[in-house]
Structure 1
Amino acid sequence: MKRIKLPSLTQWHRWLGLVLSGWVLLMAVTGSMLLFKNQWLMWQYPSLRLDNPVSQATSATIADRYTAGYAYLPTDGRPWFELVDGEGNHHYFGPQGEQLLTRAPYADTVSWFVELHHHLALDEFGKDILGVLSLFALVLITTGLVRWWPKRQWRWKNLAVRFYNPFSAKGMQTLWQLHRSTGAIVFIPVALLMLTGSAIMYAGTVKNGLAAVLPMTPSQIHHSLPKRSATHWQERFAIAHTVLPDADIRLIYLDSGRMRLKWPDEWHPNGRNYIAFDETGTLSNITDVRTRPLGEQVSHMIYPLHVAAIGGTTMTLIILAGGLALLLLPVTGVWFYLKRRTKR
């Protein structure tokens, strides 16, 4: 009986790289640009360059005019009031409640980059595809590191790159060394992007798994529910400030009367604390993330790591380095493969 020969580690790495190269490039370009989404929007639309954030009172007045969709409250880095209606149109409002801009879905490059990076412009089906591709990408970078790992004593020359014209005969050496050394040097940021990206695609499963592993609740806090009715958003904001006085309101859901709040030391840019009002406008539920299982709190740190929402400029540079490496790795890898086939 003939013995079946399994693919070697090199073959796995090569074929996974060839199959995933286009997708990796797409994720690297869109993800790197979206790190600077707010700055990009202000550059493309000068009307969004506001001196001061829109006030909460003005935001509440604008929100009262809508009954569907959701809205982001202004911050220092995003000073406008941004409302997304039921059809996916983004409306931007200024300090006096004036409408500055409306962006329809797929109406500009920013929108395309968001849709492609989040779900390949295929809605929920695209998220399923991204989840599978992210898992294969983890295998890809792991096999690459294992192949590079020195079999004997580690030396700095293991990271050396001799630069030749990549179109010349010696260019193969440069492409190979650049591919190998980039993957080794920037492995941690790249692995962080792949791990967090995969976890975001399977957020529910990851959250439940971490909560099962770390079920303890660090804090036992109880909040009273004020019984007064609040039919307007300004009244709801006032109740929220009473119940969670140190938390900032970041996101409101116009059709359900819910809002999300962020504690000062919380990683997630929009927070994971919820306040909900029933159909009569009475406060019906409070979810304080500090009272949730430790594993669930850890799961809320995944997205901020992926988008560099913490750590300031240092973390942004680390994540950007990972994105740039994901641009260079597929280009050098596929180019080297094609040159070697041509040579043969």
Structure 2
Amino acid sequence: MKWIDLLHRWTGGIVGLVLAVLGLSGAILVFKHQWLGWLPGAGDAQRQDVATLAAQMNAALAVPGEAPRSLLFAYSDFGLTRRSYSGEAGVYADQAGRVVAAWDSKWDRFELWLFDLHHHLFLGDAGEIAAGIAGLIGLAFVITGVILWWRLRKTFKLRLFPKRMSRPAIVTHHRDIGVVFAPLLFLSMATGMLMVLKPVSTAVFAPGQGAGALQKPFAPPKVEGGPLTRNLDWAAMFTAARARYPGAEIRLVALPRKPGDLIQMRLRQPAEWLPNGRTLLWFRPESGAIVDTRDAQAMPTGIRAYNSVYPLHAAKVGGWLWKLVVASTGLVLAMLGSFAVWTFWFKRPKPRARPVRPAIAAAE
């Protein structure tokens, strides 16, 4: 038991700050659409009629200069469409096509750099892997923390905050609040880790199928498209998509990034948890003709289970109750991680001084 305690404390003192950052940023991002509600048009009711969607595509493509890389249409709780351009540039436009906010860098928008902090720790792909490893270590924290709590379970007292800011009170609070949130902390860190560490998620959801098994069903067809026509009949394309998948919500249109690429349309069927769905259609960029489709609901069980990881992690399913639960879990993780670092590095108990034995006088 002593080595478990030692490992738990030392690892917490080192990794705790990373977990605190991930927990706090995640808790804030849960309510992103709510605190972006001050933007003009953010509170507008979502419109999914073909005419409105087609008008938004035509408005975006009519702007002189570079065409957007993608359009992410308004949600039921956020009435703006996001146009993304090369690099980090983008705009928010209302559903009539009017631009209400624009940026050239993620540093221009709080929600963008906060998202990058949570997902990449400002370090790109390396930061994403580091965050995934931190989540994996966090799972070990939960398991070892429950083991260490069990022997002291009779002293359990539920407090939201430590009784006082002394090291013993903080350690006691850390242990007790940690065991209360242990199942939710485990779920939060497991889902976050599974999204990032592909070898682990492949082993869980597609065992024995090798690298890339989870991405293979979503790979574009091996068909080369022509040059993008700016005046495509978007209404006809959206109508064709709806005919293939009645009742589906049209979420995103991704335009070709390089010559030969196809137009990709992403839909969300009613049974899908992912906010942007994983039902896909590809169109020829020169004519708008359908090339291929993928039905997310017809995919293998493992793929559909993997598609539920992000909605659970980011509280995109379950309504307001699950949002509050996930945000609370993130705040508790931030508190546990920051207090662990503080008590380990700045509140460590001083070693006891050994009593000095009096020297025995030599016999004369």
1:47-126 alignment runs, 5 A limit:
47-53=40-46, 55-65=52-62, 67-104=67-104, 105-126=106-127
Amino acid at match of 1:29: L
1:341 aligns with 2:339: no
1:128-207 alignment runs, 5 A limit:
128-150=129-151, 155=154, 157-160=155-158, 164-166=163-165, 171-203=166-198, 206-207=201-202
- 8 Å Cα contact 1:64-1:233 kept in structure 2: no
1:258-315 CA-to-partner distances (Å, cap 9, x unmatched) read 1111111211110010000134422111100122111110000000000011111121
- 8 Å Cα contact 1:118-1:127 kept in structure 2: yes
- 8 Å Cα contact 1:24-1:327 kept in structure 2: yes
Structure 1 residues 108, 196: closer, same or farther in 2, change over 3 A?
Answer: same
Aligned equivalent of 1:294: 301
Indicate which of 332, 340, 344 corresponds to 2:339.
Answer: 332
1:40 aligns with 2:41: no
Structure 1 residues 38, 343: closer, same or farther in 2, change over 3 A?
Answer: farther
- TM-score by length of structure 1 reads 0.84
Q: CA deviation at 1:205?
A: 5.5
Structure 1 residues 260, 49: closer, same or farther in 2, change over 3 A?
Answer: closer
1:87-130 CA-to-partner distances (Å, cap 9, x unmatched) read 22121112332111103321132222111111112222222222
1:275 aligns with 2:270: no
Aligned equivalent of 1:221: none
Aligned residues: 317
Structure 1 residues 115, 314: closer, same or farther in 2, change over 3 A?
Answer: same
Aligned equivalent of 1:29: 24
Q: CA deviation at 1:22?
A: 1.4
Cα distance in 1 for partners of 2:322, 2:143 equals 23
Q: CA deviation at 1:32?
A: 0.7
- 8 Å Cα contact 1:81-1:93 kept in structure 2: yes
Amino acid at match of 1:259: M
Cα distance in 2 for partners of 1:143, 1:272 equals 37
Amino acid at match of 2:80: W
Amino acid at match of 2:9: R
Cα distance in 2 for partners of 1:8, 1:78 equals 50
Aligned equivalent of 2:9: 14
Aligned to 1:106, the other structure's residue is in SS state helix
Amino acid at match of 1:271: G
- 8 Å Cα contact 2:164-2:170 kept in structure 1: no
Cα distance in 2 for partners of 1:60, 1:7 equals 63
- 8 Å Cα contact 1:63-1:233 kept in structure 2: no
Amino acid at match of 2:274: H
Aligned to 1:42, the other structure's residue is in SS state coil
Amino acid at match of 2:73: L
Q: CA deviation at 1:60?
A: 2.5
- 8 Å Cα contact 1:63-1:254 kept in structure 2: no
- 8 Å Cα contact 1:131-1:202 kept in structure 2: yes
- 8 Å Cα contact 1:92-1:102 kept in structure 2: yes
Aligned equivalent of 1:262: 268
Aligned to 1:59, the other structure's residue is in SS state helix
- 8 Å Cα contact 1:128-1:201 kept in structure 2: yes
Q: Which runs of 5+ in 2 are unaligned?
A: 214-228, 257-261, 353-364
1:308-338 CA-to-partner distances (Å, cap 9, x unmatched) read 1111112112111211111221233334333
- 8 Å Cα contact 2:42-2:94 kept in structure 1: no
| % identity of equivalent residues | 26
- 8 Å Cα contact 1:268-1:301 kept in structure 2: yes
Whose radius of gyration is greater, 1 or 2?
Answer: 2
Structure 1 residues 160, 47: closer, same or farther in 2, change over 3 A?
Answer: closer
- TM-score by length of structure 2 reads 0.79
Structure 1 residues 118, 268: closer, same or farther in 2, change over 3 A?
Answer: same
Structure 1 residues 146, 313: closer, same or farther in 2, change over 3 A?
Answer: same
Indicate which of 312, 316, 320 corresponds to 1:309.
Answer: 316
RMSD over aligned CA atoms reads: 2.7
Cα distance in 2 for partners of 1:53, 1:160 equals 43
Cα distance in 2 for partners of 1:128, 1:23 equals 12
Aligned to 1:60, the other structure's residue is in SS state helix
Structure 1 residues 150, 203: closer, same or farther in 2, change over 3 A?
Answer: same
Amino acid at match of 1:118: H
Q: CA deviation at 1:203?
A: 4.3
Range with bigger deviation, 91-100 or 6-15: 6-15
Aligned equivalent of 2:221: none
